[in-house]
Every structure is written in C-alpha cells, then in structure tokens.
C-alpha cells in the first residue's frame, strides 16, 4: 500500500476518533493543565486575582506539611491492608466456588452484590455496624464473651483506617472473586491433570501450577486494588471525613479539605498533581506487568 493510500485510510477514521478525543480533551486534558497551572499560584478559589508563587506549594508539601505525610502513610496502610486481605480471601473464595454448580452461582451472586451498591450506602451501613454502643459488631463480641475487643472502631485514630479498609474489602471482594474464577476456568486442564497424575499434593498443585498460570488475573486484581485504594474518597468522607485527628486522611480527601475546607485551591492543586503522578505510575506498572505476563505465556 502506498503512502498516499495509507494517509487516506487514516483520514477515514478521523470522524470516528474525533468525538472521543474532544470529550477526553475537555474533561481530562484541559482540567489537568489548569490544575498544573494553579499549583504554582496561591488562588483561594474565590478571588478574581491570584499570585504566582513558583514552587512554594510543592516545597511546603514535602517539607512543612505533616498532614500530607500522614495522608501518604495512611494511603499506604490502607492499600497494603486491602491488597493482602482482599487478594488472599477472594482467591480462596474463587477456589471454593470454581465449579459452575447452582449453589456456587448463587454464592457468587451474593458475594458480588455489595459491588453494585453506592459507596455512600455502604458507608452508612457500616457506620451502624461500627457504632460503639448499638453496633452489631460490638454487641456480637460482647455476646460471645469478647468484651475486651469491643471498642470505638471509627473513633480510635490507630484503628479507624483499618476498619475502613475492611469495609473496602467487603465491598469489592466479590468483584475480585469473579475475576479469579474466570482466570481459573481459563487454566489448561491437561497441566493440572498431569500434575495430579505425577503425585503432586493439592497444595503443590496450587503453588507450582495453578498460581503461576493464574499470574495475569493476579496482576489485574493486584494493580486494580492498589489504584482503588488510593481513590477511596467517598467511603472515607462518608464514614469519618478524614478523622479522627487526620487518622483516616488520604491524598484524595486531603485535596478536598484543602480546596473546599480551607479554600487553598492552589495548594490543593499541587497535592492533586502529586496524586495524579502516583496514579499514573501505578497505571504504567499495571501495563508493564500485564505485558510481561502476556509475553511469558
């Protein structure tokens, strides 16, 4: 095919690409450029004028803001907790529900139901569950003789972030289970049968055969969970609003509080830029891991 024919063929796709490109430019590219520009100013979100402050916002972010550091650590604690618990438990459920029996399909549906609920609805459900006086969790602990474990799950600064992490796991574990079930169904049965014939135990078959072959699904679940953990905004805002004493403050809630609570839109834009870079790096990591797993098959 000649060069002119290739150009003409590419031009034919422009009308189909243009609407999506315009939507992407208007709702992502332009706001990103605006946030980057505002991050170098002291705009308060109200005044018609503002001053260019250079890298002052970024300097304050990394050297003079303990809340930013706290939010980073909270994000990491939240992400690691959700990643380990959600991945392990959802893989266990997938192994138990792999067969397409009627009861297993019912169980998969039940596990998946929280995924379709709005995060705010889930937050209100668990606020009542965690209530220190009338909550089902403390009452259950008291009824089985474990009164010493009952506490204020959302009022204790050391425990609150892990309490919300459990809610995040509860809400999304069904979705991850379905991904693992689909991955398990795609495994070559011949390899598993050969390992069984060779005398490998169930644990050996899982560790040396199933788990390596399940790497693509495992990578998708891992990276998706990491990104979702960094963006758990609505759940935290609805349950604790970043409290107590910034004990559940993460990057996304910090952007909201600085912008709409303190009217530091320039500073909030700087936090948003750093947040965007972190998400972008996680996304690049996701594509690299997926490409590596695809290339190794």
In this prediction, residue 128 carries a pLDDT of 93
Q: 34 in a domain, yes or no?
A: no
Cα–Cα separations (whole angstroms), residue 240 to 11, 126, 223, 227: 52, 11, 26, 21
- Once rounded to an integer, what is the mean pLDDT over residues 150-172? 94
Q: 277 in a domain, yes or no?
A: yes
Q: 166 in a domain, yes or no?
A: yes
Q: 49 in a domain, yes or no?
A: no
Residues of the chain with pLDDT > 70, as a percent, come to 94
Q: 90 in a domain, yes or no?
A: yes
Question: How many distinct structural domains can be found in the chain?
Answer: 1
Q: 53 in a domain, yes or no?
A: no
Domain residue limits at 92: 64-296
In this prediction, residue 52 carries a pLDDT of 94
In this prediction, residue 285 carries a pLDDT of 79
What pLDDT digit, counting tens, does each position of 112-152 carry?
Answer: 999 888 889 999 999 999 999 889 999 999 999 888 888 99
Q: What is the CATH number of the domain that holds 288?
A: 1.10.3720.10
- Once rounded to an integer, what is the mean pLDDT over residues 257-271? 94
* Angle, in degrees to the nearest 10, between helices 160-185 and 119-129: 130
Between CA 239 and CA 250, with CA 245 as vertex, the angle to 5 degrees is: 60
How confident is the prediction for the chain on average, in pLDDT?
88
Q: 39 in a domain, yes or no?
A: no
Task: Kindly report which listed range (74-78, 163-167, 191-195, 264-268) carries the lowest average pLDDT score.
Answer: 191-195
3 state DSSP class of 246: coil
In this prediction, residue 215 carries a pLDDT of 85
Alpha carbons 244 and 260: distance in angstroms, whole number: 19
Q: 197 in a domain, yes or no?
A: yes
Residues of the chain with pLDDT > 90, as a percent, come to 54
In this prediction, residue 295 carries a pLDDT of 56
**Residue 294: is its pLDDT beyond 60?**
no
**Residue 66: is its pLDDT beyond 90?**
yes
In this prediction, residue 268 carries a pLDDT of 95
- Helices first, then strands: H and E counts in the chain: 15, 0
**Residue 63: is its pLDDT beyond 80?**
yes
Burial class (CB in 10 A: 0-12, 13-18, 19+), 193: exposed
Alpha carbons 110 and 104: distance in angstroms, whole number: 10
Find out whether 246 and 70 touch, Cβ atoms under 8 Å: yes
In this prediction, residue 168 carries a pLDDT of 94
- Once rounded to an integer, what is the mean pLDDT over residues 98-110? 88
């Amino acid at each position: 095919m000649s060069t002119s024919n290739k150009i003409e063929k590419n031009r034919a796709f422009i009308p189909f690409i243009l609407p999506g490109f315009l939507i992407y430019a208007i709702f992502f590219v332009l706001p990103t450029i605006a946030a980057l520009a505002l991050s170098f100013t002291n705009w308060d979100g109200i005044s018609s004028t503002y001053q260019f402050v250079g890298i002052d916002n970024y300097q304050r972010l990394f050297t003079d803001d303990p809340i930013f550091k706290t939010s980073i650590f909270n994000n990491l604690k939240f992400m690691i907790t959700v990643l380990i618990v959600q991945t392990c438990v959802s893989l266990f459920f997938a192994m138990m529900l792999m067969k397409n029996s009627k009861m297993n399909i019912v169980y998969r549906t039940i596990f998946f139901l929280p995924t379709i609920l709005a995060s705010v609805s889930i937050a209100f459900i668990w606020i009542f569950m965690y209530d220190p006086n009338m909550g089902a969790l403390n009452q259950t602990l008291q009824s089985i003789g474990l009164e010493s474990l009952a506490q204020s799950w959302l009022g204790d600064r050391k425990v609150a972030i892990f309490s919300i992490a459990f809610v995040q796991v509860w809400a999304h574990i069904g979705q991850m289970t379905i991904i693992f079930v689909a991955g398990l169904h795609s495994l070559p049965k011949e390899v598993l049968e050969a390992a069984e014939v060779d005398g490998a135990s169930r644990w050996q078959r899982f560790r040396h055969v199933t788990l390596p072959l399940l790497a693509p699904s495992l990578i998708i679940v891992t990276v998706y969970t990491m990104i979702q953990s960094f963006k758990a905004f609505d759940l935290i805002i609805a349950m604790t609003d970043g409290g107590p004493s910034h004990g559940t403050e993460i990057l996304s809630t910090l952007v909201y509080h600085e912008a709409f609570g303190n009217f530091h839109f320039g500073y909030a834009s700087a936090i948003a830029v750093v947040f965007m870079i972190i998400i972008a790096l996680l996304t690049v990591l996701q594509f690299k891991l997926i490409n590596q797993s695809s290339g190794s098959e």
